[in-house]
Chain A
Amino acid sequence: MGDVLIRLDEVSIGYGRPLMRPIDLEIRRGEFWGVVGPNGAGKTTLARTILGLLDPVGGRVDVRAKGLRYSYTPQRHRLSASYPVSAFEVVLMGRTAYLPVGRRPGPDDRKRATEELARLDMAEHGKALFRSLSGGQQQRVLFARALAVDPDVLVLDEPAEGMDLLGTSDILRFLRRLNADGRMAVLMISHRIDHVIDTVDHLCIINKDSDTFEAGPVATIASPERLSSLYGRPITTRVHDGRTHVELKEV
């Protein structure tokens, strides 16, 4: 088992007051976690707490061990479309955080940014304005930015947000290959259980409205009973062609 990178100990998440009962969570290097729940369930609040962007209302969050690198790709709608920055410049931003004040990105930083753009099939769009790219292309650029710093912890918030079938399929295929070497811990937040369940090895289900929080291996957590309880509708799961499929039962 990899070393523990994130530990939540009796943590209450929320903005000023707890959204739900205190939660415990331990995330290790090499694990690929999915955080699922309905819209407005508290997923992004949990992610922001884990990343240190939001102070917990109570409890203790052990993150940011010295030397560890954290990358976050937020939901795209949170970004402003008015910045005249190229895709390459966006990728380079990620490297900026680790440079001393006043230092410009050097050849190594540029090389790394170029490599990640190429890895995500975005090499030819490096000079294009970020705002002129399609949603799927923007998402790839944000992935490239996150990966260009060789993170220990990568948090992806709704990575398939606003994408068509093809774009979603490409992104999910990329994510499945992403952590093959087990070098980092990945946390993928999504309201689409069908996207997550077949991609990750650990699952966190959360819903502040029903005070639900459970975390563990997918095989344990993704039971029809738990998912039905999470979404408030009967849900079944079945394995087909080696993949887990989630189906909503007609009521």
Chain B
Amino acid sequence: MPADIGFWASSFVWRDAMIVAVLSASALAYLGVWVVLKRAVYVPLALSQVSSAGVVLAFLIGAWLGVDEHDRHGLGMLFDPSWMSLLFALLTAFWFARPRGESSNAVVVAYLLGSAAVLVLGGFVRQDLHDVQSVLFGNAVLVDTIQILYVGVAALVAALVHALMHRRFLFVSFDPDAAGAAGLGPFRVEVALYATFALMISVATRAIGALPAFGLMVLPALTGLHLGRSMRAAFAISVASGVLAAGFGYYASFVLGLPTGASMVALAGLVHLGSLVARRA
């Protein structure tokens, strides 16, 4: 197929973007299993909005301080959009980790405030609109090589935290009262878990966009939990369907000229619908 030849022949165009998408999808799909189990599916959406507000604020402060976007030093480094995005997401995650935080109105408040802040503060940013949009919502088609490093490090940190604390996360999520009575300190454990959500969401939102970051966190996890008969199987199926959706979604968007992020999410959604049908059959 000519389209296939075109796709493979132009691998230098999409290679980095594909790596970032697949890396993000695998980490998000893994974390998504926890998000769905904790019935906190709107948490990633709220985290994404709040981290975007951090980005806009960083641009505003940067402009106020006269920071050159391409040459950040001193205070300019401190108010780098990446750091501010992560800081805002982490602070919000800390808030959500409070007892019943994820199920309370806190998520809605964070989402609405984050969205409003982006729109209100965004009007004051004099930066080229395209630059801001790209930083805010990512660009799954073309990514900087540095994004591979950001996403890779974030995924590695999240993986390390989960490798060390998996069983504590499970006990505290499944039965917080019994875990607390046993002296596990549910709040501390929840903070660690939510911090991994915040880390991955803030990095992935910037790398591949808000919609794919949210979609690849929730849809593959729903598939994994629908088909998996154990936690291990749920994680494996979730990661596999996330990677499949990201990889083939990117391919489909390239070949058919479709929006990339939306193609990934649509494919993840189709895989999930397929799992519902397969389970019934």
Q: Which A residues have a C-beta under 8 Å from some C-beta of B?
A: 48, 51-53, 64, 69-74, 78-80, 82-86, 89-90, 93-94, 96-99, 101-102, 104-105, 129, 142, 145-146, 149, 155
Cα separation A147 to B24 with both chains bound (whole Å): 41
The reply to whether the CB of B229 lies closer than 8 angstroms to some CB of chain A is yes
User: By the criterion CB–CB under 8 Å, are A78 and B183 in contact?
Assistant: no
Minimum CB–CB distance from A192 to chain B (whole Å) comes to: 21
Chain A residue at minimum C-beta to C-beta distance from B227: A84
Does B168 reach chain A (CB closer than 8 Å)? yes
Assess whether A85 is in contact with B231, with CB atoms less than 8 Å apart. yes
Give a binary string over B24-43; 1 marks a CB under 8 Å from any A CB, 0 the rest: 00000000000011010000
**Inter-subunit contact B164/A97 (CB<8 Å):** no
- Interface residues contributed by chain B, number (CB under 8 Å): 28
Contact B180–A52 (Cβ < 8 Å): yes
Q: Is B234 an interface residue (CB 8 A)?
A: yes
- In the assembled complex, the Cα of A51 lies from the Cα of B171 at a distance in Å of 17
Additional 12 contacts, C-beta under 8 A, given A80-B37, A93-B179? A48-B177, A71-B178, A71-B181, A72-B181, A74-B175, A78-B177, A85-B230, A93-B170, A93-B171, A96-B184, A102-B165, A146-B178
> B5 in the interface, Cβ–Cβ < 8 Å?
no
Nearest to B234 among chain A residues (CB) is: A84
Contact of B9 with A by CB under 8 A: no
Partner of A93, one of B39, B175, B177, B181: B175
| A99 proximity list for chain B (CB < 8 A) | 167
Contact with A along B224-264 (1 / 0, CB 8 A): 01001111011000000000000000000000000000000
26 contacts between A and B (CB under 8 A): A51-B177, A52-B180, A52-B181, A64-B183, A69-B182, A74-B177, A79-B174, A79-B175, A83-B37, A83-B174, A83-B231, A84-B225, A85-B174, A85-B231, A89-B170, A93-B167, A93-B174, A94-B178, A94-B182, A96-B184, A97-B183, A97-B184, A101-B168, A102-B165, A142-B178, A146-B178
Residue of A nearest to B99 (CB): A53
Question: Which residues on the B side are within 8 Å of A74 (C-beta)?
Answer: 175, 177-178
